[in-house]
């Protein structure tokens, strides 16, 4: 059976085909399965469905339901109000890239996995109201680049950090047991400085401590201690952000150089890299030398002259056989005896006639000449 834009067709599941009057070029295919006592998402729906209402059933959104949802990739609106959903699994909406409204209010959701909303690039409204959400990581919303409305009303959330949602216009947070200590200071600063509207601000109240129950989360008077903690956390975030930027810049520069070196001959870039490497090596060597020099200096100062051992003296004598007697005599005496011996040798030298005997001159020839 074929669909036409101006025909209303009735299927076993009460399918209704409507023409959008505001946009004549866009056809809305709407299925309404509310209060049908369904325990799973029906399979026999046309792939062209754009609006699917499955509210007030017993759907759990298990693995089978997730696989069925992948078929309806043209969905723009999905309503799962008041079902039996407890966990939003990773990639449970990954194929619904055209989805703009997702309403999962009045379930029993207490776990939202990190990649639960991956693929919802066009989502504008997310309703998670009246569930059992206790803790919520703001990074879970990062795939929602176009989200404008976030509804977290009526959960069990006491702490919520600033979500990275740059197009958000409206946030609903009342009905949660907010802990208005310093841990909520970042959220308050974000609500005051951003353009995001906090709906029903006057009833978004603190639950504890008791002294702050009369304040809403946007007007809590925080102490100077909270401001100092906030400043230190900002400094740490900036430092980590700067480090990540520096590392990414270095890696990208290195990758660019590698790619360029593969296609270009060696030139100035290669010379520059060699210069940087030499500079780094020299600096490291200087630092190493500066650290190790005191150790070497102390080692030199701790060096002391010592007397030769007997086996060393014998070795020394073997190397100089002509002066073995004098060397052994010097080795066996102390420093004073050594001085006396040198004085005696000196006196002996003074009595010499100053001539050196040459044993190679024939004395008989000299006598004949005389």
Specify the pLDDT at position 60: 96
Q: What is the pLDDT of residue 279?
A: 86
Q: Measure CA of the first residue to CA of the last residue in the chain; give whole Å.
A: 151
Distance between CA atoms of residues 192 and 185, nearest Å = 11
pLDDT(32) > 50: yes
Neighbouring-strand partners of residue 28 = 18
Tokens read off for 48: 């062209």
For residue 43, pLDDT beyond 80: yes
% of the chain with per-residue pLDDT over 90: 43
Q: What is the pTM of this model?
A: 0.58
Instruction: Tell me: pLDDT of 157 over 90.
Output: yes
SS3 content of the chain, % helix, strand, coil (to 5): 40, 10, 50
Do the Cβ atoms of 114 and 90 come closer than 8 Å?
A: yes
Q: Which stretch of 167-171, 201-205, 266-270 has the lowest confidence by average pLDDT?
A: 266-270
Q: Which pLDDT score, from 0 to 100, does residue 44 have? A: 85
In the chain, which segments carry CATH 3.80.10.10? 15-232
Is residue 166 scored above 80 in pLDDT? yes
Mean pLDDT over residues 139-160, rounded?
Answer: 95
**What confidence tier does 339 reach under pLDDT thresholds 50, 70, 90?**
very low
For residue 364 the two structure tokens come to 């008989």
Is pLDDT at 245 greater than 80 in this prediction? no
User: Tens digits of per-residue pLDDT, 93-137?
Assistant: 999 999 999 999 999 999 999 999 999 999 999 999 999 999 888
Q: Average per-residue pLDDT in the chain?
A: 74
> And the tokens for 117?
């909303």
- CA distance linking residue 252 with residue 169, whole number of Å: 35
Residue among 91, 140, 87, 144 at smallest CA distance from 120: 144
pLDDT classification of 275: cutoffs 50, 70, 90: confident
Is residue 3 very low, low, confident or very high in pLDDT (cuts 50, 70, 90)?
very low
| Cα dist from 262 to 255, 265, 268, 277, 327, whole Å | 11, 8, 14, 19, 71
The CA-atom distances, in angstroms, between 18 and each of 103, 136, 145 are 21, 38, 29
Q: Alpha helices, DSSP H only, in 171-223?
A: 185-193
For the residues 139-146, what does the mean pLDDT come to? 93
Closest CA to 122 of 49, 65, 73, 68: 73
Q: Omega into 209 within 30° of 0, i.e. cis?
A: yes
Mean of pLDDT values over 306-332: 50
What pLDDT sits at residue 6? 30
Phi-psi region of 268 (alpha: psi -120 to 50; beta: other; left: phi over 0): alpha
37 touches 56 (CB < 8 A): no
CB 213 within 8 A of CB 207: yes
Residues found in the chain: 370
Task: Give the fold, CATH level 3, of 15-232.
Answer: 3.80.10
What proportion of the chain, given as a percentage, has pLDDT over 70?
A: 58
Number of neighbouring beta carbons within 10 Å of residue 141: 21
């Amino acid at each position: 059976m074929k669909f036409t834009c101006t025909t209303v067709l009735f299927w076993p599941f009460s399918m209704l085909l409507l023409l959008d009057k505001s946009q004549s070029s866009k056809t809305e295919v709407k299925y309404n399965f509310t209060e049908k006592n369904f325990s799973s998402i029906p399979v026999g729906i046309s792939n062209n469905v754009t609006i699917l209402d499955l509210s007030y059933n017993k759907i759990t959104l298990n693995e089978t339901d997730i696989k069925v949802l992948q078929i309806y990739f043209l969905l723009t609106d999905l309503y799962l109000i008041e079902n039996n959903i407890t966990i939003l699994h990773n990639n449970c909406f990954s194929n619904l890239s055209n989805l703009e409204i997702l309403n999962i209010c009045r379930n029993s959701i207490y776990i939202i996995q990190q990649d639960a909303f991956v693929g919802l690039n066009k989502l504008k409204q997310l309703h998670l109201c009246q569930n059992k959400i206790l803790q919520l990581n703001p990074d879970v919303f990062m795939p929602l680049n176009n989200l404008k409305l976030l509804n977290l009303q009526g959960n069990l959330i006491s702490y919520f950090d600033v979500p990275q949602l740059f197009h958000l216009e409206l946030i609903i947070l009342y009905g949660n047991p907010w802990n208005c200590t310093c841990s909520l200071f970042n959220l308050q600063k974000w609500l005051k400085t951003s353009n995001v509207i906090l709906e029903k601000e006057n009833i978004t109240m603190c639950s504890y401590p008791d002294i702050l129950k009369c304040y809403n989360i946007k007007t809590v008077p925080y102490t100077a201690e909270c401001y100092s903690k906030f400043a230190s956390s900002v400094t740490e975030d900036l430092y980590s952000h700067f480090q990540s930027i520096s590392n990414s810049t270095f890696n990208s520069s290195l990758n660019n150089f590698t790619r360029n070196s593969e296609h270009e001959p060696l030139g100035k870039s290669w010379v520059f890299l060699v210069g940087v490497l030499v500079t780094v090596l020299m600096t490291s060597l200087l630092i190493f030398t500066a650290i190790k020099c005191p150790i070497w200096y102390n080692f030199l100062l701790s060096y002391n002259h010592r007397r030769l051992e007997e086996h060393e003296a014998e070795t020394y004598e073997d190397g100089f056989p002509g002066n073995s007697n004098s060397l052994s005599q010097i080795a066996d005496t102390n420093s004073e005896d050594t001085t006396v011996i040198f004085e005696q040798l000196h006196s002996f030298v003074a009595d010499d006639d100053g001539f050196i005997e040459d044993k190679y001159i024939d004395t008989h020839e000299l006598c004949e000449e005389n």
